[in-house]
Amino acid sequence: MSTKTFAGINVEVNEEGYMTDSSQWTKEIAKEIAKEEGIELTDTHFDVIEFIRSKVASGETLTIRGINKSGVVDAKTFYKLFPGAPLKKATKIAGLQKPESCI
């Protein structure tokens, strides 16, 4: 593990850059992680991120199908918001661990 500084806060990250303590997460940290991923966050991004954080907090498994059924965004929009690997990028920006379903 290593330490990275986002928004003036030192956070521990794993070898893939995912935060190891999600309680340190803030919107300012999210904006800096997103910038590293080439994403400029909008209110819609934050709606998705808040949905994801609430699902993880309640112990639910994250899937793209679940995002599609969330009522927040559909799968096509999810892919546009977080291009490439949407679930991996969204969880990373949300300060969460990479989902087990992602390789």
Q: Which residues are catalytic?
A: 102
CB-CB contact of 90 with 48 (8 Å): yes
Alpha-carbon gap, residue 41 to 90, rounded angstroms = 11
- The Cα 33–Cα 71 span in angstroms is 25
